[in-house]
Amino acid sequence: MKRIILFILFSFIFLLDTNAQCAMCRAVLETGESQDIAKGINNGIVYLMAVPYVLIAGIGFFIYRNFNKSKKNGL
């Protein structure tokens, strides 16, 4: 269990500095003077990418929990 927690913790630490832009978006945004816009777009892409994974993980957790409840009740 400790290994799983450490793996998740390190995964989140390494994902904090990801670059999720495609090559075309990056080229267009880097030609501008302000790099703050490029960082904002990159963060938005990462958040939009993470939401479906979090939702699917939550649904999987609830299914797993309900399956184990019914197994313990002898059904």
Give the per-residue pLDDT at 9: 77
> How many residues belong to the chain?
75
More confident: 22 or 42 = 42
Are the C-beta atoms of 26 and 51 separated by less than 8 Å? no
Q: How many domains does the chain have?
A: 1
Q: Which residue range forms the structural domain that includes residue 26? A: 2-72
16 Cβ partners below 8 Å, 6+ apart?
A: none
- The answer on pLDDT for 15 being more than 90 is no
Are the C-beta atoms of 21 and 42 separated by less than 8 Å? yes
Give the per-residue pLDDT at 19: 60
Q: Render pLDDT for 44-71 as a digit per residue (tens, 0 to 9).
A: 888 888 889 999 999 999 999 888 887 7
The model's pTM is: 0.49
Give the per-residue pLDDT at 2: 79
Say if residue 58 is exposed, middle or buried (CB neighbours under 10 Å; 0-12, 13-18, 19+).
exposed
